[in-house]
């Protein structure tokens, strides 16, 4: 439709209306269109198939393909966007974007917004006085454009607003002008939005409609832009410090580095690539090649069980330094975080969006936005043994308030009758912690215990036992412990029970047993319970939410961890020693005495490994590496007792280390987790554009796809389920 008005020609391009069945988004859809110029008659029906093979049909309203050619041409006719110098008062400009819902003031006056990604806001006014005038025709046609369609609008600027804050929209729009008011002259539809998809405030979209969530979910948009901003800042800082970005291969080979791998078959019989668990081996080779500082935003792949903070493919900000110790890397990582935080704090704030706390740009000047909290200038440190002993976790959440004392060992005080009542273990270690609230918590305790997650409820080592301090009962409710133990716990001056002595009315003492052996793994059952109770207390309003950021270094991990019956045979180094590397087999021992223990008692060796923890989340880890080829081979052959074939998988690395490789150490941020934690979300899916589900599926493209028997044959493979 072409129209002209007193102000000039008026153009409007609208598609023929297509009737669609409502609720289209509730089905998994794939479109089957007529191909190769096939005639589409008025009786032809476009078919949409869902996964259950049931079909949904829509009357397409299309006669023949030639009759649609002009409409297709209109959709592909993209008018030129106005130059940055054109955006002045009384000028006519053309802008591209998505049209919002129309606001009708009267039958003769309407307003509509044009939404421009990372640009100023635009409001177009459409009005008419004389019936059947070009302005009237344009006004009527505007009302036919479905909200959220992609359009090109032309209008005359009659007002604009600037900001006191510096706002830059790239090279497309003038700086600091955040809003334009225009009188509509032309409207050109570039891509119509279907009327059967209803967009409402706070709409929840199914996983396969991620494109709609990306477009309409403000919190998700903010988090992705926040990620973009922090990523550019961090990599820019590393470049400024002289680090060299080196891209390493994605198609690697299978090596027993630690985690389960994804294999990529080839047409060469019996051969396959493996997707890298990390760039670990390549970046060590880069150090041997003479690069002083390396970094990379690396895609990593691990075929492991998925949780809210895990994805089968994820991003690391990976770095390595030659002629460096672990201490050097830890200091550099702290400095990098402070640089990123110093950039972030003046530009980003936090606010509630769609009921969730998330980043928001300071330039938006939201009235309810709050500044990011300050962080410590030097991050505290804790050994692995301290973390497991006091917090029951190698990822302590330092936000748990001080009035909740740390974990305390108490088995030396307990009578055998009580110990045997709570656990069937022989000579167990028994530990306890206390939690308290300002208000009575009887109902909370019952609620928590009645709804404990299965892993916390069904512990083969023994169930947790809660005892509430009640002065009206014998021994204040601690009589099951026996007189001696109860008296010691209640004694405020008890020096060997510093974390749980001096209990008060209403305090809850939680007791649990565990095997009497050195710590291994990432947590104890009591530590998991402590964190669960804290999270529930915050969720139920008994404790205020703590939005501060508590960074922590955890060091001194064991270099090796015993294999157990539950160990995944696909993980580890597949040696005959009965244990595997806690992190990976390239980590150096911590101290000189740890080198001696390699030959005599490997399970007592501490690693020069360090994890960075934030609010109970492991953000990343690193270590000093073994840079001497003979020592690395000794660890493979004599400590881990790997086979010659297993060692041969690392021949490329041993060759590089043999060529005078310098001492080196590194670190890798789990970048998805880092951004998610700073974005106040517990799921990395909220900071990834197209995340995988808990099953490892990608719902938009429906990956992974089923492979046909013919495709398997191409790779000399056969599926039992083909």
Using one digit for the tens of pLDDT, what is the confidence trace for 321-370? 999 999 999 999 999 999 999 999 999 999 988 778 999 998 888 889 99
The pLDDT value given to residue 446 = 87
The pLDDT value given to residue 66 = 73
**Cα separation of 511 and 525, whole Å?**
11
Percent of the chain with pLDDT over 70: 88
Residue ranges of the domains in the chain? 84-191, 222-376+554-687, 400-525
Q: What is the pLDDT of residues 41-92, one digit of tens each?
A: 333 332 223 333 333 334 445 556 777 888 888 899 999 999 999 999 999 9
What are the angstrom distances between the C-alpha of 99 and each of 118, 161, 466? 15, 20, 59
pTM: 0.86
Are the C-beta atoms of 678 and 669 separated by less than 8 Å?
no
The contacts of residue 580 (CB under 8 Å, 6+ apart) are 258, 560, 561, 563, 567, 571, 572, 573, 640
The pLDDT value given to residue 63 = 53
**Cα separation of 674 and 70, whole Å?**
50
* Pair type for strands 664-670 and 617-624: antiparallel
**Cα separation of 675 and 392, whole Å?**
25
The pLDDT value given to residue 518 = 92
Classify 8 in phi/psi space as left (phi over 0), alpha (psi -120 to 50) or beta.
left
**Cα separation of 507 and 595, whole Å?**
46
**Cα separation of 592 and 601, whole Å?**
14
Tell me which of 67 and 510 has the higher pLDDT.
510
CATH classification code of 222-376+554-687:
3.30.930.10
Structure tokens at 285: 């080779």
Q: What is the pLDDT of residues 217-268, one digit of tens each?
A: 999 999 999 999 999 999 999 999 999 999 999 999 998 877 889 999 999 9
The pLDDT value given to residue 457 = 85
Indicate the class that CATH gives domain 84-191. mainly beta
The pLDDT value given to residue 575 = 80
* Pair type for strands 551-555 and 508-514: unpaired
The pLDDT value given to residue 12 = 44
Residue 654 has pLDDT above 80, yes or no: yes
CATH classification code of 400-525:
3.30.1360
The contacts of residue 461 (CB under 8 Å, 6+ apart) are 423, 425, 428, 512, 513, 514, 515, 525
Residue whose token pair is 């809850």: 508
Tell me which of 206 and 54 has the higher pLDDT.
206
**Cα separation of 395 and 523, whole Å?**
8
Q: What is the pLDDT of residues 514-559, one digit of tens each?
A: 999 999 999 999 999 999 999 999 999 889 999 999 999 999 999 9
Residue whose token pair is 């309407």: 110
The pLDDT value given to residue 32 = 29
The pLDDT value given to residue 680 = 95
Q: What is the pLDDT of residues 593-605, one digit of tens each?
A: 999 999 999 999 9
The pLDDT value given to residue 265 = 94
Residue 572 has pLDDT above 80, yes or no: no
Structure tokens at 423: 């656990």
Q: What is the pLDDT of residues 146-185, one digit of tens each?
A: 999 999 999 999 999 988 766 667 778 888 899 999 999 9
The pLDDT value given to residue 60 = 46
Mean pLDDT (the chain, rounded): 87
Percent of the chain with pLDDT over 90: 68
Residue 193 has pLDDT above 90, yes or no: yes
Alpha helices in 348-415 (DSSP H): 384-391
Residue 718 has pLDDT above 90, yes or no: no
Q: How many residues does the chain have?
A: 722
Tell me which of 355 and 482 has the higher pLDDT.
482
Residue 646 has pLDDT above 50, yes or no: yes
Same fold, 84-191 and 400-525: no
Structure tokens at 554: 């955890």
The pLDDT value given to residue 176 = 84
DSSP-derived letter for residue 266 is -
**Cα separation of 350 and 359, whole Å?**
5
């Amino acid at each position: 439709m072409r129209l002209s008005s007193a102000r000039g020609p008026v153009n409007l391009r609208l598609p023929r209306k297509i009737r669609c069945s409502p609720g289209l988004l509730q089905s998994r859809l794939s479109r089957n269109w007529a191909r190769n110029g096939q005639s589409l008659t008025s009786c032809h029906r476009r078919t949409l198939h869902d996964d259950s093979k049931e079909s949904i049909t829509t009357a397409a309203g299309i006669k023949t393909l030639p009759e649609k050619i002009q409409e297709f041409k209109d959709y592909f006719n993209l008018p030129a966007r106005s130059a940055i110098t054109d955006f002045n008062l009384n000028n006519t400009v053309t802008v591209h974007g998505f049209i919002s819902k129309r606001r009708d003031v009267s039958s003769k006056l309407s307003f509509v917004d044009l939404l421009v990604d990372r640009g100023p806001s635009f409001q177009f006014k459409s009005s008419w006085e004389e019936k059947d005038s070009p302005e009237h025709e344009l006004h009527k046609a505007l009302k036919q454009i479905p909200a959220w369609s992609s359009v090109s609008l032309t209008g005359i600027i009659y007002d604009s607003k600037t900001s006191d804050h510096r706002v830059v929209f790239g090279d497309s729009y003038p700086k600091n002008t955040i809003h334009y008011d225009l009188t509509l002259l032309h409207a050109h539809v570039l891509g119509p939005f279907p009327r059967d998809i209803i967009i409402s405030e706070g709409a929840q979209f199914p996983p396969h409609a991620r494109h709609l969530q990306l477009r309409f979910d403000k919190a998700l948009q903010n988090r992705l832009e926040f990620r973009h901003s922090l990523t550019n800042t961090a990599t820019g800082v590393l470049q400024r410090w002289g680090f060299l970005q080196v891209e390493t291969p994605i198609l690697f080979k299978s090596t027993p580095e630690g985690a389960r791998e994804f294999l990529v078959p080839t047409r060469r019989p019996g051969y396959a690539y493996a997707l890298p668990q990390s760039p670990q081996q390549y970046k060590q080779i880069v150090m041997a090649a003479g690069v002083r500082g390396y970094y990379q935003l690396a895609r990593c792949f691990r075929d492991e069980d998925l949780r809210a903070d895990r994805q089968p493919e994820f991003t690391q900000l990976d770095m390595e330094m030659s002629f460096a110790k672990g201490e050097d890397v830890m200091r550099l990582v702290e400095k990098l975080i402070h640089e990123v935080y110093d950039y972030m704090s003046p530009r980003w704030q936090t606010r509630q969006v769609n009921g969730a706390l998330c980043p928001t740009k300071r330039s938006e000047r939201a009235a309810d936005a709050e500044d990011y909290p300050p962080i410590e200038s030097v991050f505290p440190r804790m050994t692995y043994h301290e973390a497991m002993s006091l917090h029951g976790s190698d990822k302590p959440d330092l936000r748990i308030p001080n009035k909740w004392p740390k974990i305390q060992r108490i088995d030396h005080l307990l009578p055998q009758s009580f110990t045997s009542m709570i656990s069937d273990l022989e000579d167990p270690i028994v530990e306890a912690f206390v939690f308290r609230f300002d208000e009575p918590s009887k109902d909370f305790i019952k609620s928590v215990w009645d709804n404990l997650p299965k892993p916390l409820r069904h512990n083969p080592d023994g169930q947790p036992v809660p005892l509430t301090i009640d002065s009206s009962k014998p021994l204040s409710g601690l009589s099951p412990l026996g007189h001696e133990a109860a008296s010691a716990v209640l004694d405020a001056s008890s020096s060997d029970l510093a974390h749980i002595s001096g209990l008060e009315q209403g305090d809850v003492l939680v007791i649990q047993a565990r095997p009497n052996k050195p710590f291994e793994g990432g947590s104890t059952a009591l530590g998991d319970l402590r964190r669960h109770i804290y999270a529930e207390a915050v969720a139920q309003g008994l404790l205020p939410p703590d939005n501060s950021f508590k960074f922590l270094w955890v060091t001194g991990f064991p270099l090796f961890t015993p294999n157990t019956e539950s160990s995944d045979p696909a993980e580890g180094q597949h040696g005959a020693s009965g244990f595997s590397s806690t992190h990976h087999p390239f980590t150096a021992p911590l101290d000189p005495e740890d080198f001696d223990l390699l030959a005599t008692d490997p399970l007592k060796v501490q690693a020069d490994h360090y994890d960075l923890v934030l609010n109970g989340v492991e953000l990343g880890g690193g270590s000093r590496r073994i840079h001497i080829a003979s020592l690395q081979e000794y660890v493979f052959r004599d400590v881990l007792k790997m086979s010659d074939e297993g060692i041969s998988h690392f021949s490329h690395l041993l060759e590089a280390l043999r060529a005078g490789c310098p001492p080196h150490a590194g670190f890798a941020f789990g970048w998805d987790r880092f951004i998610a934690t700073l974005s106040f979300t517990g799921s990395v899916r909220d900071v990834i554009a197209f995340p995988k589900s808990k099953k490892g599926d990608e719902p938009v493209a429906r990956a992974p796809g089923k492979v046909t028997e013919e495709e398997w044959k191409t790779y000399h493979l056969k599926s039992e389920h083909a």
